[in-house]
Structure 1
Amino acid sequence: MALDPTTVTTVLSLLPSILEQANKTIEKIKKGRRKDGGTDTPGPDARDPAARIAELENAAMQQAEAVKLLAEQHAITIEALRREAARLDRRLRLMTAVAMAGFALGLAGLVVALNLLLR
């Protein structure tokens, strides 16, 4: 399925902000570890920094994939709305033509009735 250019632009504009947020989180964790120094208790902070960074990068990639899926769903929804709008437009045009024809027939019938009445 092809994405329209606006959706692609939206997704591409969101990816840097997601990666920037991931980098901020990584920096925040690094600063927190520097302030704490060494901890003797095993826990999430005691893990290898490289493993934690890889974990955060993986989370950022998952978020980027989620944004991509949302963009695809957005494109599908927009396409469905466009099709429905086109269908409704055709129906409105048909109903307008039918109403105009009905009005013309009614007006012609009124003219005939008035002519018959005035004779």
Structure 2
Amino acid sequence: MPSLRKRLMALDPATVSTVLSLLPTILDQANKTIEKFKKSKRKDEAPDGAVPEPRDPAARIAELEAAVMQQAEAVKLLAEQHAITIEALRKEAARLDRRLRLMTAVAMGGVALGLGGLVIALNVLFR
């Protein structure tokens, strides 16, 4: 969609900076999540030849519940950040739409004045 791409390329610098300011937070959350998964995988792996010791099911359930709560908080934070980004983009799109409508009206007025001037000039010229 070339028109959408052109509109996105013409975003207000303030909107772009708002969106870009959220990216480090999102990336930080993603990195933390990846590190947690790596650490939990390392804990679950047993050394070569060793028999993994049985874990207390209640402790494992508590660990999983804590991990789920942390992930839920991270998802909630990301959703809030996405909502802020979407709202900023909507405001910018509305501003661009108003600007486009205004420029279209101005261009139509210019064409109308130009045609009127041409008609008057032709009438004066051929009299």
Alignment TM class, shorter chain as reference: 0.5 to 0.7
Q: Distance in 1 between matches of 2:57 and 2:102?
A: 67
Structure 1 partner of 2:126: 118
Matched, 1:85 2:79: no
| 1:65 Cα deviation from its structure 2 partner | 0.9
| 1:46 Cα deviation from its structure 2 partner | 2.4
- Unaligned ranges ≥5, structure 1: 1-39
Q: Deviations over 1:45-79 (max 9, x none)?
A: 52322111100001111111121112101211110
Normalising by structure 2, report the TM-score.
Answer: 0.56
- Unaligned ranges ≥5, structure 2: 1-49
Structure 2 partner of 1:66: 74
| Partner SS state of residue 47, structure 1 | coil
Q: State the AA in 2 paired with 1:51.
A: A
Q: Distance in 2 between matches of 1:73 and 1:84?
A: 17
Structure 1 partner of 2:22: none
Structure 1 partner of 2:7: none
Q: State the AA in 1 paired with 2:117.
A: G
Structure 1 partner of 2:109: 101
- Percent same amino acid among aligned pairs? 82
User: Root-mean-square deviation (CA), in Å?
Assistant: 1.7
Q: State the AA in 2 paired with 1:88.
A: L
| 1:112 Cα deviation from its structure 2 partner | 1.0
Normalising by structure 1, report the TM-score.
Answer: 0.60
Q: State the AA in 1 paired with 2:113.
A: L
Alignment of 1:41-52 (within 5 A): 41=51, 43=52, 45-52=53-60
